[in-house]
Amino acid sequence: MTYIGHGGKEIVERVLEPEKAAEAIKGLTPVPIRGQIAREIIDIAYGFFTPLEGFMTRADVEGVCNEMKLANGVLWPIPIVFDISTEEINEKGIKEGDKLLLTYQDKPMAILEVEEIFTYDKQEMAQKVYGTTEDKHPGVARTYNYKDKFIGGKITLVNPPKINPPFDEFFFTPKQLRQKFAEKGWQRVVAHQTRNVPHTGHEWLMKGAWLSTHGELPVEKTLTGVLVNAIIGEKRKGDYIDEAIVLCHDVLRKAGYFREDVHLTSITLWDMRYAGPKEAVFHAILRSNLGLTHHMFGRDHAGVGTYYDPYDAHRIFDQIPEGALNIKPIRVLAWWYCPICGEVTYSGLCGHKEHSQNFSGTLIRSIIQDGVKPPRLIFRPEVFDLIMECAEKYGFGSAFVTDKYLKERNPVFSLPDMKY
């Protein structure tokens, strides 16, 4: 079955059959890569980043930075680049026209066709993508940490990753996910972007977004779903561990806070850039490739610190030309706890602003760190209990990322041994 992704391009999997792969990599120069690049290779190879077939060339990067468009005119907000040092290029004698064997975890992973080797001003890239050159911004810091040269060119996966438990039941390629939606009979699916364990504010955001998405559809049959798409990438000390994020979202359905036939949890491998509005557009593209029809954007989507207005990520969609994006944004304000209403309620409806009690994922994390169990109106007990279980099972006694977790955790994916 053919599936059409972002930019009207067919979703294509750039993955070689094992026998062809072993043959194709013979004699290629090996180049070890880091986790971020490995995750992006998986995204490109399975079509998460359609229409990208590889890492961007200079023309693409320029178009993305200056006009939020690829060189072919398709909307795209964040550069996807393969960085490499001049020393490594010289040492390995890499030149345009070469094919490189990208290795990860000391195993072959993908072939990179070297179409172009180029440089790009990192400060300019930071300013244009993030609206700042301050290295306190984590996306800017990531940009400054890029090595001095970039290689643009197509990639082909030669050694498909094995997704490890408990993530294996949540990893779906765009094609698999679209098949799953069809099996469920979902005509519309709304995305909830997350890298957090859910509190009831998140739960109500999803429920509100589901209602907006379902709209005028008949109610006799479930035609609309919520897809929780957890972003799994680089972790920082103090974050919730990945296992807790994924399993706790899934438990919302298992514990009945969502009906079995309206809710699904999945993962996408991506290192957050915290690019605020630009990242909101990126998330919309990503989820349109997954086959979603709607995308919920709450307060301060993909923001960090005070670099963006809390609703910049809503406003950017007003600037996008009709037809450039095949997914509808659902814009929502914050939910808060209102002691007068006695419930978590929508700030766009509740008239008790002066009594409102705001909460955030960070605040809840702080409460849990203080050894306090949040009230069930704010945090479902099943979620709390599961966090504690995950701490024991996966986090070396902590639900939050520690040095030990960073060093000894079971990786999200592994590359199998490969004969070549």
Nearer to another protein, 135 or 148 (CB): 135
Q: Is 178 exposed, middle or buried (0-12, 13-18, 19+ CB in 10 A)?
A: buried
For residue 161, give the 3-state DSSP assignment. coil
Nearer to another protein, 175 or 409 (CB): 409
Stretch binding another protein (CB under 8 A), from 54-62, 92-100, 221-229, 374-382: 374-382
Cβ atoms within 10 Å, residue 410: 11
Nearer to another protein, 4 or 341 (CB): 341
User: What gap in Å lies between CA 301 and CA 94, rounded to an integer?
Assistant: 40
Residue closest to 191 by CA, chosen among 291, 322, 279: 291
The residue from 66, 119, 145, 358 that contacts another protein (CB under 8 A) is: 358
User: What gap in Å lies between CA 375 and CA 222, rounded to an integer?
Assistant: 31
Hey, which residues between 306 and 325 contact another protein (CB under 8 A)? 306, 310
Q: Which residues, 6 or more positions from 54, have their beta carbon under 8 angstroms from its beta carbon?
A: 44, 112, 113, 115, 152, 153, 154, 155
The residue from 4, 22, 334, 388 that contacts another protein (CB under 8 A) is: 334
Residue closest to 193 by CA, chosen among 303, 77, 280: 280
Minimum distance, C-beta of residue 373 to another protein, in the bound complex (Å):
8
Number of residues that bind another protein (CB under 8 A): 28
Contact status: 362 vs another protein (CB under 8 A): yes
Provide the angle, in degrees to the nearest 10, between the axes of the packed helices 242-254 and 381-393.
Answer: 140
The residue from 27, 93, 371, 397 that contacts another protein (CB under 8 A) is: 371
Peptide bond preceding 166 in cis form (omega within 30 of 0):
yes
Contact status: 348 vs another protein (CB under 8 A): no
The residue from 19, 216, 354, 370 that contacts another protein (CB under 8 A) is: 370
The dihedral sign for the CA sequence 216, 220, 225, 226 = positive
The residue from 141, 217, 377, 406 that contacts another protein (CB under 8 A) is: 377
The residue from 60, 62, 300, 312 that contacts another protein (CB under 8 A) is: 300
Contact status: 365 vs another protein (CB under 8 A): yes
Alpha helices in 290-349 (DSSP H): 312-315
Stretch binding another protein (CB under 8 A), from 78-86, 279-287, 298-306, 323-331: 298-306
Hey, which residues between 233 and 272 contact another protein (CB under 8 A)? 237-238
Residues near another protein (CB under 8 A) are 237-238, 299-300, 303, 305-306, 310, 334, 337, 339, 357-360, 362-363, 365-367, 369-372, 374-375, 377-378
